[in-house]
Structure 1
Amino acid sequence: MAEGLKFNDEVSHALKMAYQTPDIVSARGQVIASLKLQNGLKVLDIGSGPGLLAKDISQHIGPTGSVVGVDMADNMIESAKQLCADAVNVTFEQGDAMSLPFADNSFDSVVSTQVYEYVPDLNAALLEFARVLRPGGRGVIVDTDWAFPYWNAADVDCRDRIIHAWKQHCAQESVPMRLAGAIKSASLQLSKVEALPIMNIEYNDKNFSYWLSKIIASFAIDRNGVTNKDSEAWLAGIESLEKKGEYFFCINRYLFEVTK
C-alpha cells in the first residue's frame, strides 16, 4: 500500500534543489511551450510545489493575466509565496487535486506536474481537472513512470530493494500508461504525448538524480526490509560509481497536451 511522501523540511529542500537543476528547468520550458500562453490568460497550477512553474508562467501572461497555484503542503505554499512575492499576478492557496476549490470553467489553462501519482483515484482527479478548465481551454499534464527507473548500482540487490520500497511513495505507480484513458473518460481531447527523459551520467548536485537519491534513501528506511545502513551503503555505492566514471541514471517523464 502506498504510504505517501511526507513533505517535511528535508524532503522539501531536496525537491526545491531538484526542481532547479538543468534537467527540470529544461522540462519546465517544455511545459511552458506546450501551454501556448498569451497575455491575459487565467491559469491554474495544480500541485504548485515551491512555485517555480507558477513564477515562469506569470512571466508569459502579462499583468492582466493571473496564475493560481494550489498545493496540499503548507510548507510548499509558504515557499511558493516567498519565491513569487514580487509577482503581483500570482496567488497560492491550499487545495486538493481531488476536490479543487474553484467553480466550473474557471481557467483558460490548467497544468499539473508530478501530481497524479499521489491521488487515490486517477479518473476522479482528471474529472476535476476537466471541470475547472473552460470549454476551448488548454491543459498540460506531466507525470513520471516510476516502474522503470534505470540506475547503475554497486550492489544490485540493495538497489532493487530500495527502489521497490520507493514505489510505496505513490498511489499510482504507472500514471503515464493510464493517462490517455483517464483523459478520454474526462471528456478531454488528447492532442499530443511527448517523452521527457532525464539522463544523468554524473552524480553531483547539478543533476536531478543526485537530489532524488537523497529523497529515496531517506524514504526507503524501514520499508521493504531496508535499514539505515542499507540506504547509506546504496548512496556510498553511487559515489563509488561516480569516482570510477560508471554512474548512470535514466527515467522517463511524459507530457500530455489536452484541450476541452
Structure 2
Amino acid sequence: MSVLQFDERGTRHIVRLYSTPDVVRQRAEVLALLAARPGERVLDIGSGPGFLVASLADAVGAEGAVHGLDRSAPMNAVARDLVADRPWVRIDDGDAVELPYPDGDFDAAVSTQVYEYVADVPRALSELRRVLRPGGRALVLDTDWDSVVWHVVDRALHRRVMTAWEEHLVHPHLPAMLPGQLLRAGFRVTGRHLIPLFNPRLEENTFSALNIEMIARFVRGRQGLTDEDVEAWTADLRERGAEDAYLFSLNRYCFLAVAE
C-alpha cells in the first residue's frame, strides 16, 4: 500500500478539487455544523490548502484564534498565503497523532478527510480529545469508498480500478467505526450527518471529473492494471458523459461530538 503523497503536484490538484462547487457546498455544510462563534479558539487538523481555515477565521473574528495543522509543506505554503491577511490565524507543521498544543487549548476542532489516512486512529482521536477543553466540540468527516456509485459499462474493470484506488489511504471504510472510536476516546457523539457528492453529468469543474484524473494516475501498475486498462476505464466514463448517461455519487459521513 502507498497512500497519496501531497507534494507540489498533488497540492495543485487538491486546490482545484477543493474549489469545485461540490466541495464548496460540503465546506459550507461543515461550517454550519461546527458553528464556530466569535472569540473561539478553533483547530483544523489536516488543513490542506487552508480554505476551511480561512472561513473559520472569518467566523471567530480577530478576538478568536484559528490554527491549521498539516504535515505537507506545499499545502502549508498555500494555506499561509491564503490567510496572510488574518493575523489571528496560524498554520502549523505537524501530525494528527501528535498534536503540538497544550491540553484543553481549543473550544472546537474539525478534521475533514484526514483520519482515513492515519494508521493509528485511536491515538489520533485521543490527541483530539486532549487538546479540546471539556465540553469542546469536534467534527470529523471521512469517506467510505464502498458508497461510490459510478456508471460504467465494464463493471469488472471498474472493480479492479476501485480496488487499486483504495490503496491510496489506510482506512477506505473508516466511517462505520468512527462513532465507537470517538466514544472510546472520551467523546459523546451528538450528531451523525451524511453529505453526498452527486454529479449527474460529466462536467469539467466537478469532484468526479477531477478524481478521474487523480485515480488514473494512482492506479497504473496496481492490481495488475496496465496503461491500456486505465485508458479503457477513463474512456468508458467519458463515453457515458458524451451520451448524457453519466452518473457519480459518493457519501461523506460527518460526526459531531462533545468532549466529556
Other-structure match for 2:77? 78
SS of the counterpart of 2:117?
coil
Distance in 1 between the 2:64 and 2:242 partners?
A: 48
Shift of 1:233: 2.1
1:60 aligns with 2:50: no
Q: Is the 8 A contact 1:15 1:211 kept in 2?
A: no
Contact 1:14 1:214 in 2 (8 A): no
- Please show how residues 1-260 of structure 1 align to structure 2 within 5 Å: 2-260=1-259
Q: In 2, Cα distance between the equivalents of 1:247 and 1:188?
A: 41
Distance in 2, Cα, partners of 1:228 & 1:101: 43
User: Could you tell me how far 1:88 is from its partner in structure 2?
Assistant: 1.8
Residues 66-121 of structure 1, C-alpha deviations (whole Å, 9 max, x = no match): 11001111111111111212222211111100111111111111100000101112
Compute the displacement of 1:15 (Å): 1.4
3-state DSSP of counterpart to 2:139: strand
Amino acid corresponding to residue 36 of structure 1 in structure 2: A
CA separation in 2, counterparts of 1:40 and 1:78?
26
Greater displacement, 40-49 / 141-150: 141-150
Kept in 1, the 8 Å contact 2:36–2:42? The answer is no
The Cα of 1:55 is off from its aligned counterpart by 0.5
Given the two structures, how large is their TM-score scaled by the length of structure 2? 0.96
Q: Which amino acid aligns with 1:50?
A: P
For the 8 Å contact 1:109–1:139, the answer to whether it is kept is: yes
Kindly indicate whether the alpha-carbon contact (under 8 Å) linking 1:39 and 1:61 is maintained by their aligned counterparts in 2.
Answer: yes
Contact 2:129/2:186 (<8 A) preserved? yes
Are the equivalent residues in 2 in contact too, given 1:149–1:251 (CA < 8 A)?
Answer: yes
Q: Is the 8 A contact 1:18 1:207 kept in 2?
A: yes
| Deviation, structure 1 residue 37 | 1.3
Q: Secondary structure at the match of 2:152?
A: coil
Identity of aligned residues (%): 37
Alignment partners' CA distance in 1, 2:204 and 2:77: 24
Residues 232 and 12 of structure 1: CA distance in aligned 2, closer, same or farther (over 3 Å): farther
Q: Which string of whole-angstrom CA distances, capped at 9 and with x for unpartnered residues, describes residues 145-164 of structure 1? A: 11231111132222211110
Give the drift of 1:140.
Answer: 0.6
Q: Which amino acid aligns with 1:184?
A: L
Q: CA-atom RMSD, angstroms?
A: 1.1
- SS of the equivalent of 1:246 reads coil
**Distance of 2:144 and 2:38 partners within structure 1:** 33
Instruction: Encode CA deviations 1:4-56: one digit per residue, 9 max, x unaligned.
Output: 11113332222111111111111111111111211111110000001000011
Distance 1:147 1:186 in 2: 26
- Structure 2: distance between partners of 1:213 and 1:39: 39
Paired residues of 2:7 and 2:72 also in contact (CA < 8 A): no
Quick one: distance in 2 between partners of 1:173 and 1:233?
24
2: CA distance between counterparts of 1:208 and 1:245? 17
Stretch of structure 1 that moved more, 107-116 or 219-228: 219-228
TM-score by length of 1: 0.96
Q: Distance in 1 between matches of 2:161 and 2:48?
A: 25
- Structure 2 distance, partners of 1:241, 1:213, is 13
Tell whether the 8 Å contact from 2:66 to 2:90 is kept in structure 1 after alignment: yes
User: Does structure 2 retain, via aligned residues, the 8 Å contact 1:107–1:137?
Assistant: yes
